[in-house]
Amino acid sequence: MCQVDSSRRLAMQTVAVLGTGDAGFAMAQRLRELGFVVRAWNRTESRARPLKAEGALVFASAAEAVRSAEVVVLTVFDVDAVLDVLGRIAPSLEPEAVVLQSATVGTDISEVVEAATRLDVAMVDAPFLGNPGPARRGELTLMVAGAAEHKQVASSVCHALASHVVDVADHPGGASLLKLACNTWLFGTNAMAAQAAVLTESFGLDPSLFIRAVTGTNADSVYLHYRADQLTGRSEEVLSPVRAAIKDLGHIRSATASAGLPELLLATVQQIYHRAAEAGLGDRDLASVREVLAR
C-alpha cells in the first residue's frame, strides 16, 4: 500500500497531472503547494493555463507533460479518454514512471488494464472519493490496486492527496470496482436524505429538523452534515454535480447487470437523477434532486 516514513515527510517528486478539470486542477494545486514539481496538461489548454501562476509547468501535449515525471496522475473524463491518453504517453514515459489511473471507468477498468499491459505502462488503479475541496486540502480517500512496487513509487503522491488510503489489491482493477460500490451507497443515501428533507418540509416543518433529530443516533451520518445546507435548500454551492452521478450510475447499472443482480432499487435511483438532469439541474449539486422529489 502507499506508505510514508515515520516522520511523515513527503519525498518530493516530479508529477504529471493529465486532466485539469475541477478535481485534477485541485490536485495539481495541492501538489504544488507541497513542493512537488507539477507538469500539467489538459485537452482544452485554457483549463490548465491558470496553474502557471502557481508554479506548475503547462504543456500543449500529454506526451510532453510526462517527460521526466516519476508519477503521472490521470484524471480525464472517461474510459475513451483514458485509453487515448495512455496510447499517447506510453512512448514518452520514464522507464520507472508509474501512472495513477484516477478516472472513474467502472467495469471498463479491465480494458484499461489490458491497454496498460500491452503498452508496458506501470499502472496503479487509483480512483478517489471526494470533490475539489478535499482534493485541494489533501483530504481525498484513495482506493489503490496495483503491484506493491508501483504503489511504493506513488506513495508520496498518494499521501499528498489523500487522508485515507484503502489498499484494495496487488493488481489493478479492484479499486475501480470498489468505487462503484461506494458510489452506489452515496447516490442512494443522497436521494433518500433529500426525500426525508422534502417530506419534513411538506409537514410544515423546517427541513433541518430531520437532520437535528437523527444527530447522535445510530441513524446519524457524516454525509448528512456535510450536505446539510444543500439538502435543506439553504445553499446552492455545488459539491458534486448531478451530471457526474448520471455518468457513474451508468457504470453501476452495467456492473450490476453483469453480476446478474436485480436492479430494482438502482433503476429507481437512476431515474431520479435523470429526471433532475432533464429538469435542467445537471450542473447543480447532487442534493438538488430534492426539487424533483418535491414535485
Catalytic residues: 179
Bridge pairing between strands 57-58 and 71-74 = unpaired
Instruction: For residue 145, list its beta bridge partners.
Output: 125, 169
Under a CB-based contact definition with an 8 Å cutoff, are residues 156 and 38 in contact? Answer: no
User: Using N-to-C axis directions, what is the helix angle for 109-118 and 79-89, rounded to 10°?
Assistant: 10
Which of the 8 DSSP states describes residue 241?
B
- Residues 6 or more apart in contact with residue 75 via CB below 8 angstroms: 17, 18, 19, 20, 21, 23, 24, 27, 102, 103
| Residue linked to cell 503498452 | 119
Residue 38 near residue 57 (C-beta atoms within 8 A): yes
264 burial (CB, 10 Å; 0-12 / 13-18 / 19+) is exposed
- C-alpha cell of residue 9: 515527510
Q: Is 65 helix (H, G, I), strand (E, B) or coil?
A: helix
Q: What is the DSSP string of 110-174?
A: HHHHHHHHHTT--EEE--EE--HHHHHHT-EEEEEES-HHHHHHTHHHHHHHEEEEEEEESSTTH
Beta pairing partners, 169: 145
Sign of CA dihedral 89, 90, 91, 95: positive
Q: Is the separation of the CB atoms in 100 and 122 below 8 Å?
A: no
